[in-house]
Amino acid sequence: MQDMAEQILAGNRRALARAITLVESGRGDHREQALALLESLRGHGRQALRIGLSGTPGVGKSTFIEAFGCMLTGLGLKVAVLAVDPSSARSGGSILGDKTRMERLVRERNAFIRPSPSQSQLGGVARRTREAIDLCEAANFDVILIETVGVGQSETMVAEMADLFLLLLAPAGGDELQGVKRGIMEMADILLINKADGDLKPQAIRTCADYAGALRLLRKRPQDPEGFPKALTVSAIEENGLEKAWEEMQALNTWRHESGNFDARRAAQARFWFEAEVRERLLARLTREPVKGAMKALAGQVEDGALTPSAAAEELLREHLMME
């Protein structure tokens, strides 16, 4: 593990890929190795800008990541792209699975693209993604893009791992604007209205103005300077507006660093994930023997009416989970 850690710190891509595979593994011995690796990587002092990116299918996420990622590598920055796709855990599919949709970025020396793990247990997605982020940060990437699809809790999860959160949107009629859930709007730092090109350009500009108006109605957040969150138009295909978007991200990031918000947010996120992991692993006891079997037997008695739900819960907690 010490060897692997040194290779990662030296920027070895193959070691990084192997390390991510290790943290994604469900095997007990792999888990021990992964924890040892992460421990030996602590204190490297490197800090990437972690950018979360969400958007519904069809909005142009892959094209945007390709264009934005190439622009960043063109500026000499090292870019890692990770994906969180809870649906792939069930379907076996994965976003970013088709790397050919990013054929330019995938060939860039300074880019590293990692598809969402498929067939993984849903509960562990967050932990594995956080650990993959840590590994990329240790490998000295400047920007880590974390892509997710606009479904369920995955956006909240990614927002809790990212320093900045981008929401990619398509040009839309005024009525459709309401379709974006308020909660998602409130998580976003920058809304990017994509497809501001060709026939859709006027509509993209109008949509952007509509969103800008909606954003002004939100209460100002303590983590934002004047003017944020904001809405911008981009064209991933024509590669327009990407520099401007990057400038805004840097401006926001600089402000948050100087105001202390950046560090405060990272600290709060670390605490959030610590508490989430404790809860998750505590509940996981119920799905392992011997508790699992005892719970099943008591559930049978509850179904038969021999025990009330509360009395059975009391017995399980006292006898099998060492609680008073």
Binding site for a second copy (CB under 8 A): 35, 38-39, 42, 127, 130-131, 134, 267-268, 270-271, 273-275, 277-279, 281-283, 285-286, 295, 298-299, 302-305, 308-314, 316-317, 321-323
Do residues 224 and 263 make contact, with C-beta atoms less than 8 angstroms apart? Answer: no
Which residues have CB under 8 Å from 171's CB, separation 6+? 193, 195, 196, 200, 203, 204, 206, 207
Closest distance to a second copy from the beta carbon of 96 (Å): 24
Is 205 or 299 the residue whose CB approaches a second copy more closely?
299
Can you tell me the distance from the alpha carbon of 211 to that of 191, in angstroms, rounded to the nearest whole number?
8
Closest distance to a second copy from the beta carbon of 65 (Å): 27
Closest distance to a second copy from the beta carbon of 63 (Å): 33
Residue bearing tokens 């119920």:
286
Q: Which residues pair with 143 in a beta bridge?
A: 49, 79
Closest distance to a second copy from the beta carbon of 159 (Å): 16
Both ends of the chain: CA-CA distance in Å?
42
Closest distance to a second copy from the beta carbon of 246 (Å): 28
Closest by CA position to 129, among listed 162, 99, 98, 96: 162
Closest distance to a second copy from the beta carbon of 258 (Å): 20
Is 251 or 267 the residue whose CB approaches a second copy more closely?
267
Its sign, for the CA torsion 220, 221, 224, 229, is negative
Is 157 or 234 the residue whose CB approaches a second copy more closely?
157
Residue 166 tokens read as 């981008």
Paired sense of beta strands 143-149 and 79-84, if any: parallel
Is 134 or 248 the residue whose CB approaches a second copy more closely?
134
Is 227 or 300 the residue whose CB approaches a second copy more closely?
300
H or E element in which residue 125 lies: helix 125-138
Closest distance to a second copy from the beta carbon of 10 (Å): 22
Is 76 or 183 the residue whose CB approaches a second copy more closely?
183
Is 39 or 243 the residue whose CB approaches a second copy more closely?
39
Residue 225: helix, strand or coil by DSSP? coil
Beta strand segments in the chain, E? 49-55, 79-84, 111-114, 143-149, 164-169, 190-193, 230-233
